[in-house]
Amino acid sequence: MKIATLLASALLSAAATAHAGVIDSTGHPGTVGSFGEPHTATYGQTFSLAGNHVLNAFSLYLTGEVFAPVHFKAYVYEWNGLHATGNALYSSGAQSFGGAGPGSAKEFAFNTGSLSLVDGKTYVAFLSTTGLFDGVLSTARMPVAPNDAIAGGSFVYMNNGSVFDWLTNTTWNARAHDVWFKASYDAGSAADVPLPATLPLLGAGLLALGLVRRRKG
C-alpha cells in the first residue's frame, strides 16, 4: 500500500508540473535605447498564451552605463493592438537601475501573484519611468531578441514623458523584433487541469486493493 501511495503522489506531482510553461527570449546580442527620463519613458513586450493561463512571474532586462539611476515601475495591461487598455492588471513598486557593464544586463523579476490571462487576448508587460522623474536626465538600454522570438509578440514603446494616460489612449510605437523577456505560467486553475489518463486507473487499483485488504481482515 505504501508503494501505491508513493506512486499516486508522484503522478499527482507530474500532473501539477506538466502544465507549467515558460517564455524565454533571453541570450541574444543587441540592444535598443534610450529608455528613461525625460521622453521615451516606456519600453515593453507584447505576448499572448493559447488557452486560459495563470501568469506567475515575468522578467524584463536593462543594460548599459547610465549617467544617474533610472527609476521605473513594471506593469501588465491588456493590449488592443495599438496601446494598453483598461486598468493595470499588475503594477510593481518603484525600481532603480544603476547601470550594467559591457556585455551584461540586469534582470528585473516580478511576481504577479497568479494573474489569470484569457485565451485569445494579447497582453503587454512594460517598464515605465512616468511618475518617477527626479529631474536628472538619464537613460538605459534594453537587450533585444530576433524577430519572432516570442510568437505573436513585439517590442513596443511610447514617448509619453510624464503623461501616464497616453499609455491607454494613444498608439504606441512598435518594432518587428522582441526584447529579452521571461514569463512563467500555469495552464488554468487547478480545477481546469485535466488529470493524466493513468490517474483514474490508479484510483481504481487503489480502491480494489483496499477492498481486498478489508476482505482479508
More confidently predicted of 16 and 88: 88
Would you place residue 183 in the very low, low, confident or very high pLDDT band (cuts 50, 70, 90)? very high
Q: What is the pLDDT of residue 49?
A: 85
Summarised one tens digit per residue, pLDDT across range 122-166 is 999 999 999 999 999 999 999 999 888 998 899 999 999 999 999
Residue 27 lies in a domain: yes
More confidently predicted of 104 and 148: 104
Please state whether the predicted TM-score (pTM) of the whole model is above 0.85: no
Residue 58 lies in a domain: yes
Query: 31: domain range?
Result: 19-188
Summarised one tens digit per residue, pLDDT across range 11-42 is 344 444 446 899 999 999 899 989 999 889 99
Residue 205 lies in a domain: no
Average pLDDT over residues 172-192: 83
Residue 81 lies in a domain: yes
Q: Could you tell me the CATH number of the domain that includes residue 77?
A: 2.60.120
The contacts of residue 126 (CB under 8 Å, 6+ apart) are 42, 43, 44, 45, 60, 74, 75, 77, 84, 156
Residue 121 lies in a domain: yes
| In the predicted structure, residue 97 carries a pLDDT above the cut 90 | yes
The count of structural domains within the chain is 1
Around Cβ 8, how many Cβ atoms within 10 Å? 15
CA–CA gap between residue 6 and residue 14 (Å, rounded): 12
Residue 153 lies in a domain: yes
Residue 74 lies in a domain: yes
Average pLDDT over residues 37-63: 93
More confidently predicted of 30 and 51: 30
Summarised one tens digit per residue, pLDDT across range 109-122 is 999 999 999 988 99
**By the 8 A CB rule, do 97 and 140 touch?**
yes
Would you place residue 8 in the very low, low, confident or very high pLDDT band (cuts 50, 70, 90)? very low
Residue 5 lies in a domain: no
